[in-house]
Amino acid sequence: MFLKTPPLYRAAAGSAGTGAGPARAPQARKPEPLIYLIAGEPSGDQLGALLMRALKTETNGQIRFAGIGGEQMTAEGLISRVPLSDLAVMGFLEVVPALRRIRRRLRETVDDIGAQRPDLVLTIDSWGFTGRVQAALTQAAHPALRVHYVAPMVWVWKAGRVRSVAARVHHLLCLWPFEPALFEAAGVAATHVGHAVVESGVDRGDGAAFRARHGLADDALVLAVLPGSRRGEVRRLLPVFRETVARVSVGHPGMHVVIPTLEHLRAGIEAATADWPVPVTVVGGNEKADAFKAARAALAASGTVSLELALAGVPHCIAYKVHPLSAALFRRLMARGTRFVNMINILMDREIVPELLQEACQPEILASVVTDLLDSDARRQDQAQGLAAVIDRLRGKGASPSQTAARTLLALLTDTGRSRE
């Protein structure tokens, strides 16, 4: 729920009836700042929840929230105006059936921002939707500060993306240290805050406890399978992952698959994996860290989960598949010379995490790579070294990423307040 709005007026000491003198006029009290947050997918929901927690800590709870989020932001006190699942769509053609719904949600969101009159609008990732919200606010000359968290990957996309960001927001919160300079050159103020994946706790799991809870022997071979956080991803990838697991299991009798997922996807995944050729345990996100510690390797959909697996030290590969026409459009929009889509590989400028995308997202290819990650000590060690190097860059020093982001927003609000006085 929203944090409670305080009364605008408070009786002064010595008010009527106290015998301490004549009543004074009530003193106006400035309301707590209102931040309107918009997350468009589960990874943004996680970032938003951590940021909300940090903002409440930094202000001793003297902050209000409104907007759109998922399970984690709801747990921090947000009443979401729109179900997150309505916005979490990936791919060009895949968006087409949802266009009417997304346009309606866009109008509703912009109207709600106008009604709520927030001091600051913070959009989180998902630039396809959130960028349109910011564009509408810009066109309407809405007085709120416009900030975006998770800069679009302009080193992957062509240069027009930088200009579109510059025209729509006042400030960017960047995950990577090299990003601010890219945007500042286009006239956008930007702050490097770091990547909040280091706050997720996935590196503090208890694999032995997980095995004990789920009746897995200490020496049982566990493969983590992560088919995505969007229903469309799960629908496309689970059949491919099923056949991959079937092939891998031939050389690994007794293998057990563990699938950590979001609660709203859990029942569907349990039903879809009921006939898999190996035992499958589907768990909620609260068991993710323990599941990672129990796993020898992982097969995952492309996304933030790769950084989580890196933090937990789990050897893994990523896979992804969209409609062929969507893939062709993505490739046309990507900047020339782009070699990788996985952030770990981009940072290291070599393939640390195998990328099996589109034509390569086939069971026979995936099975070969997963088998290598399970069996080859040399392959596992090489990836472990690369993952450790990336995590060193992520951790940074001093305040956590969410604390840095929260302090940046509060400083922006303070500066704006001064300029309006």
331 CB-near residues (< 8 Å, 6+ apart) = none
Whether the Cβ atoms of residue 335 and residue 155 lie closer than 8 Å to each other: yes
CATH of domain 9-14+30-194+397-420: 3.40.50.2000
Q: Model confidence over 365-375: pLDDT tens digits?
A: 999 999 999 99
Name the more confident of 11 and 79: 79
Q: Model confidence over 116-140: pLDDT tens digits?
A: 999 999 999 988 889 999 999 999 9
Mean pLDDT of the chain: 86
CATH of domain 202-395: 3.40.50.2000
Q: Is 30 exposed, middle or buried (0-12, 13-18, 19+ CB in 10 A)?
A: exposed
Q: Model confidence over 229-239: pLDDT tens digits?
A: 888 899 999 99
Domain ranges of the chain: 9-14+30-194+397-420, 202-395
- Per-residue confidence (pLDDT) for residue 87, from 0 to 100: 72
Q: For the whole model, what pTM was predicted?
A: 0.81
Q: Model confidence over 252-292: pLDDT tens digits?
A: 999 999 999 999 899 999 999 999 999 999 999 899 999 99
Q: How far is residue 248's CA from residue 224's CA, in Å, rounded to a whole number?
A: 13
Is 9-14+30-194+397-420's fold the same as 202-395's?
Answer: yes
